[in-house]
A = this chain, B = another copy of it.
């Protein structure tokens, strides 16, 4: 579950939609998660595997069904780290950017 895996897992709209679906109703089976997606079951399986590898989804087998559960913790971790990193001057960020784009060799370099 490297950080890169989480970023890459989140970079696909289908996978984000799968997370959304699990957020609405947790513990869905593979078949249920396939509904509404215009692709084969195997394609959805591949996406779910990527989400599992990123530790965003955990599974449990129940009989012949496979239940999927959302794990939002990696999302929180990444958000924390990345937001905190750039937090400095969050409010003034737009102003600073504007000035930088207008300013001609403003001396900061």
- What is the CB-to-nearest-CB distance from A58 to chain B, in angstroms, rounded to a whole number? 6
Tell me how many residues of A have a C-beta within 8 Å of chain B: 37
Q: Contact: B76 with A23, CB < 8 Å?
A: no
Interface string of A2-21 (1 = CB under 8 A from B): 00100110110100100010
- A39 near B: Cβ within 8 Å? no
- From A99, which residue of chain B is reached at the shortest CB distance? B69
Q: Contact: A71 with B93, CB < 8 Å?
A: yes
- A83 near B: Cβ within 8 Å? yes
- A38 near B: Cβ within 8 Å? no
A-B contact pairs, 21 of them (CB 8 A): A4-B11, A4-B13, A7-B16, A8-B11, A20-B85, A26-B100, A26-B108, A27-B108, A58-B97, A58-B100, A62-B104, A62-B105, A67-B100, A69-B97, A69-B101, A72-B90, A72-B93, A73-B93, A73-B94, A75-B83, A76-B83
